[in-house]
Structure 1
Amino acid sequence: MGIKIDKGTTKSLRIGGICAVVGLVLGIVGTLFVSNYNPPDSIGERASVVFGRIVSQNELVSVSQDYNITDKQEDANSFFGLFDIPFTNNSFWYRYAGTIKAGVNLQTAELETSGNTLTVTLDPAYIISNTPDMEKSGVLEENNNALNPIHVEDVDAFQQWCVEESETQAVEGGLLDEAQTEAEARLTQLFTAALGDDVTVQFVWREAPAENAES
């Protein structure tokens, strides 16, 4: 039994608050403390020390987005796929809510220094997690049919569609671009806090893998 997506599907996506980078600021403070008592000779060496502390945090979660998808699913038994059999319709309204987090993998970051200019090379931002909010998610209305009952796999298929749809809309809405912009701002702030305002931080973003670019 396949699931049909009603034309009147209601979807809403809203931008959530910027996620804090837990422990990162404390790590930089520790780096500054050590540097004050045992300062490296050049800005490049000091930048490497700070960069090492940043990379040790691995993923930099930079933005999150809440979503709420409400959709009516309908189904009917068919006669060899030629036409729907009368009186076999079923349907249910379901709300699926959750939060998507996007960020940057710092483990693959690279740093180059030239004078007071720091060049940070990063992989593209990606979706780190997609967590459902089961307190808000669930069936809103159900119209079952003894001739064609709603099955668990129908609900599972709808939930999977919601996950894919929420991520598609997040990417199309620019969530990954926002994550990269926020990552640049955060990393720049960390470097300048540790090394001073005379430092210039620039970024190079690697191209996304072919399979991601096509999806």
Structure 2
Amino acid sequence: MDYMKIKIFKRIKLLFFLLIALALAIISSSFSTKKNLEKKCDLVTEKLTTISELATVKYNYSNVISIKDSLKYKDFVIPFTEKSFVVKYNGYITAGIDLSQAKTYIENNELSILLPSSKILNHTVSEDEIYVFDEKSSAFNKLHINDMLNEIVSEKSAMEDKLVKEGFLDKVNNDTIKFLQDFFKELDYDEIKITIDK
């Protein structure tokens, strides 16, 4: 009888140690899985930061501004006060998504990336490519360089508004999503979901 109790006690003791070992294995496995997911998330974030400059779109353009102005008294144009100019210039607009603001999630080998919406990052007028034509000035209404610069600045803003209305930023969003999906396809995720936070 005592022999049976000892045998049962040994089996219970063995079973208890096996359960503890199994629990420890499961816990360490979950820590290891969690650590691997964190490493994968860090890798994705690092890659997003690295390719941030690649995920921009550049729009080149040329523009012509023609301005005529005269001094006026009420609605009457004062003679011999007309000034005018025609300016042609080239510029470019870069737009993109700030990939450092991306949020990444990995679950069941599925990568989810939430991106902020694209925005205009830079708008530059090439100073070397500003050409002034048909410049006229009067003694009473002088043409100043600031007149031209103010018109160019005004046109820059109008060009940005026009591009946004034409869907330029939507195209940048779509191009960035496609670029990132192709880029992360190489990391062997089962699924890659990229969405824009609008």
> Per the shorter chain, which TM-score range?
0.7 to 0.9
Whether the 8 Å contact between 1:74 and 1:91 is mirrored in structure 2 is yes
Following the alignment from structure 1 to structure 2, what is the Cα–Cα distance between the partners of residues 50 and 169?
38
RMSD: 2.1
Following the alignment from structure 1 to structure 2, what is the Cα–Cα distance between the partners of residues 203 and 133?
35
Q: Which runs of 5+ in 2 are unaligned?
A: 1-31
Following the alignment from structure 2 to structure 1, what is the Cα–Cα distance between the partners of residues 88 and 154?
12
> 1:89, CA displacement in angstroms?
1.1
> 1:123, CA displacement in angstroms?
0.9
Counterpart pick for 2:58 among 38, 58, 64: 64
Partner of 1:78: 72
Whether the 8 Å contact between 1:54 and 1:106 is mirrored in structure 2 is no
- More displaced stretch, 177-186 vs 51-60: 51-60
Whether 1:188 and 2:181 are equivalent positions in the alignment is: yes
Counterpart pick for 1:203 among 190, 194, 198: 194
Tell me the TM-score normalized by structure 2. Answer: 0.74
Whether the 8 Å contact between 1:122 and 1:206 is mirrored in structure 2 is yes
The structure whose residues are more often helix, as a share, is: 2
Following the alignment from structure 2 to structure 1, what is the Cα–Cα distance between the partners of residues 47 and 139?
59
The letter for the 2-side match of 1:63 is: V
Partner of 1:20: none
Aligned residues: 165
Higher alpha-carbon Rg: 2
Partner of 2:43: 50
Whether the 8 Å contact between 1:97 and 1:133 is mirrored in structure 2 is yes
Residue aligned with 1:88, SS: coil
Identical-residue share of aligned pairs (%): 22
Q: 1:5-44, CA deviations, whole angstroms, 9 ceiling, x for partnerless residues? A: xxxxxxxxxxxxxxxxxxxxxxxxxxxxxxxxxxx85774
Q: Which runs of 5+ in 1 are unaligned?
A: 1-39, 208-215
Whether 1:176 and 2:173 are equivalent positions in the alignment is: no
> 1:157, CA displacement in angstroms?
0.9
Following the alignment from structure 1 to structure 2, what is the Cα–Cα distance between the partners of residues 149 and 76?
10
- More displaced stretch, 172-181 vs 103-112: 172-181
